[in-house]
Structure 1
Amino acid sequence: MHNPTRVINRIFQFLVICCLFSGGASAQESSIFPIFVEHALGKTRIEARPERIVTIGWSGEDAVLALGLVPVGMTEYKFFPSGMFPWNETAVGDAKPILLSDAVIDFEAVAALRPDVILGIYSGVDDVSYKRLSAIAPTVVYRSGPWQADWMEQTYLTGEALGKRQEAQKLINDTIAELRALGTSHPALVSKTFIFGSYFPGGNGIVVYLPKDPRVAALVELGMVVPPYVADLASQNPTELSVFVSFEEMEKLAPDLVVMWYKPGAREALEKQPLFTSLDAFQSGRYVPLEDAVSIWATSALSVRSIPYFYPHFIGQLADAAAH
């Protein structure tokens, strides 16, 4: 006769195996919880795999979507008809996330969404706001500083908070590889010097972004380099992402290529400044002005979604300008 206990044990083992195979990734992800995520404002405990996710700040939803989830609430970008970045519209699909103000944190609106976790990694969340958000749900912010997290930090911390660290690291590695492959496919850009800047009408100079800024770091991944003067400015300002360079100092920049993003009216104002237009790069047509919303946001709020969406086009613009 069969031993009833042995039969029951075998049936139980079979059912466990079936559950593991059918629930694979979900079971694995759930088993790592609770987890702790360390960041600049504390150490956040997340009890279970989050399902209702709210993102605040810039481009936080990009990393969540890239990891296969859709936030219940995310930042609204009023420059786009849908209120979303165009590179995210397909991933959002038929879901209807609530779009939150990008100007101030609406704590009541966030609480109404009943989030399991709040992600404010590329944001200006301070200690007071962090405490208010944490009273609503576990909240994860930056490790670097307010408005300083690059797309890699944002992706990695999002992966940690969602129990998808390995997937997040793969997204980072794949995106870096894509940038480097784009650079390899455009050898004329390798070792070209560039500045990436902006201008605000009425100013007596321009903002120049330094190598720590994601805009600049992405072009360095393509194989380009900053001019010696910008490298010196970075050494003198090791904690800064950008510096102000007056029109009188501008000739010291001497880049092969000038990339500028502009708010409405700013380009026209700057191009009336003789000390800017006397730059050899401008005179020769080695100049890439970014004025439309897609160009500005894809290069200012970089992510694992915006880079594959925009940079294959952007590198063509850079290569065409460098050819002059």
Structure 2
Amino acid sequence: METPKQPLRTAVMLAAIVTLLTFIMAGCGSQSKDNNTATSQATGDTRVIKHEMGETRITGKPKRIVTLEFSFVDATTQLGVTPVGIAQENDDDIDGLLGKKIDFTPVGTRKQPNLETISSLKPDLIIADLNRHKGIYKELSEIAPTIVLKSRNSSYEQNLASFGVIADALGEKEKGEQILAAHKANMKKLKQGVKAGEPRSVLVGVFRSDSLTGHAASSFDGQLLEQAGIRNALQNTSEPTVKLTLEQIAQADPDVIFMAEADEKLISEWKQNPLWQNITAVKKGEVYEVNRALWTRYRGLGSAEKILEQAISLLYPVQSK
């Protein structure tokens, strides 16, 4: 009577094993499904950003951003992100750029960023300038995903292109396109203040102690004024900025001079020289001092609008009755 129990025990054990295997397989299937979903989400949220030094993969929307040039600060804040770290020379640089105070950690100067300070901020994105920072791109990339863009010694249009890349990097491509469209509309409206066929040529220059650095037609301010119909006096130069002697300025003979910085000693010396006195802008009294940071350093969308607005107000002063 003992023998019938053996098949029964075997059947029970087999059923238990089948149940256990079914449970394990179901769990594995569920885990595999979850992993596939996570991979799909990560892939869909990752963008390959092309920049001046190659390609950088960015996942999600970076929030802890370090910016190493002023125009990048302008761009990120317009896109709704305040950088955690900013390179600057003076304590009031960012106040002047944005017209307001923001909280951030200084990370050295634009010329010489402090890599240790940048690393301590644990950024998820670093935005660097091609002209200044291509030599430390590797070190920056070891800290966080880094994109290198044109700003310093770059044209107005090149800076607009950099803004578009930043918007994409922040996951705000559509918002960036809207901001650019609004900026171009503002510039178009401002351009209406320039007289058609404006005959005067302008020279934007930084007057230092020993020479003048002129901003040519391909510079940021030079190009944006050209696009508005205000002709630059320096047309045939291979670089956006060029050092000029007094003799070269006299040869260019600008009708208007915008002095972005004026060294008093240099100007006082030149005022005694007939070459300076014979420049058309000097003879007609059209030499104007303008803010150097705004005209030559910021290079943001807001800065471009302010430069054009100021240029128009100086070229066409309201006549008092």
- Same structural fold, with TM-score higher than 0.5 when normalized by the shorter chain: yes
Greater mean deviation of Cα atoms: 213-222 or 251-260? 251-260
Aligned to 2:68: 56
Map 1:111-260 to 2 at 5 A: 111-121=119-129, 124-127=132-135, 129-142=136-149, 144=150, 147-148=153-154, 150-187=158-195, 190-203=198-211, 206-227=212-233, 230-231=234-235, 233-234=236-237, 237=238, 240-260=239-259
Q: Which residue of 1 aligns with 2:279?
A: 279
> Aligned to 2:126, what secondary structure does the other structure show?
strand
Q: Give the counterpart of 2:58 among 46, 62, 67.
A: 46
- Identity across aligned pairs (percent)? 20
Residue identity opposite 1:247 in structure 2:
L
State the SS of the aligned residue for 2:180.
helix
User: 8 Å contact 1:201–1:270 — kept in the other structure?
Assistant: no
Residue 98 of structure 2, aligned match among 69, 76, 88:
88
CA contact (8 A) 2:53 2:148 kept: yes
Write out per-residue CA displacement over residues 176-234 of structure 1, whole angstroms, 9 at most, x where no aligned residue: 3322322212427834321222222223xx3322211001012113221124xx32x23
- Say yes or no: does 1:65 pair with 2:41: no
Aligned residue number for residue 319 of structure 1:
316
Summarize the alignment of residues 262-277 of structure 1 with structure 2, pairs less than 5 Å apart.
Answer: 262=261, 264-265=263-264, 266-277=266-277
Contact 2:208 2:263 in 1 (8 A): no
Q: Is 2:307 the partner of 1:297?
A: no
**Using a 3 Å threshold, how does the CA distance of structure 1 residues 125 and 147 change in structure 2: closer, same or farther?**
farther
For the Cα contact (< 8 Å) 1:35–1:46, is it kept in 2? yes
CA displacement 1:5-47 (0-9 Å, x = unmatched): xxxxxxxxxxxxxxxxxxxxxxxxx995311111221211112
The counterpart of 2:88, out of the listed 76, 91, 96, is: 76
Contact conserved, 1:55 with 1:61, CA < 8 A, in 2? yes
- Tell me the matched-pair count: 274
* Bigger Rg, which one: 2
1:191–1:223 contact (8 Å) kept in structure 2: no
Structure 2 counterpart of 1:99: 106
Structure 1 Cα separation of the partners of residues 282 and 217 of structure 2: 22
**Equivalent position amino acid for 1:277 in 2:** Q
Q: Which moved more, 1:59-68 or 1:183-192?
A: 183-192
Letter matched to residue 302 of structure 1: R
User: 2: CA distance between counterparts of 1:32 and 1:195?
Assistant: 49
Change in Cα spacing, 1:146 to 1:216, as seen in structure 2 (3 Å) is closer
Instruction: List per-residue Cα deviations over 1:234-276 (Å, max 9, x = no partner).
Output: 3xx2xx1122333223333132212222155354454444322
Question: What residue is the counterpart of 1:17 in the other structure?
Answer: none
Q: Is the 8 A contact 2:154 2:220 kept in 1?
A: no
Cα-Cα RMSD: 2.9
TM superposition shift of 1:138: 0.3
Uncovered stretches (5+) of structure 2, i.e. residues with no partner: 1-41
CA distance in 2, matches of 1:207, 1:321: 30
Residues 1:32 and 1:279: Cα distance change in structure 2 (over 3 Å): farther
Q: What secondary structure sits across from 1:320 in the alignment?
A: coil
With over 3 angstroms needed to count, the CA separation of the structure-2 counterparts of 1:312 and 1:125, relative to structure 1, is same
Question: Which secondary structure state, in structure 1, belongs to the residue aligned with residue 231 of structure 2?
Answer: coil
**In 2: Cα distance, 1:310 partner to 1:195 partner:** 14
Q: 2: CA distance between counterparts of 1:321 and 1:60? A: 35
In 1, distance between residues paired with 2:178 and 2:272? 46
8 Å Cα contact 1:61/1:71 also seen in 2? yes
- 3-state SS, counterpart of residue 125 of structure 1: helix
Report the alpha carbon displacement of residue 79 of structure 1 after superposing the two structures with TM.
6.2
Structure 1 residue 65: deviation in Å? Answer: 0.4
TM-score, normalised on structure 2? 0.75
Q: Distance in 1 between matches of 2:161 and 2:170?
A: 14
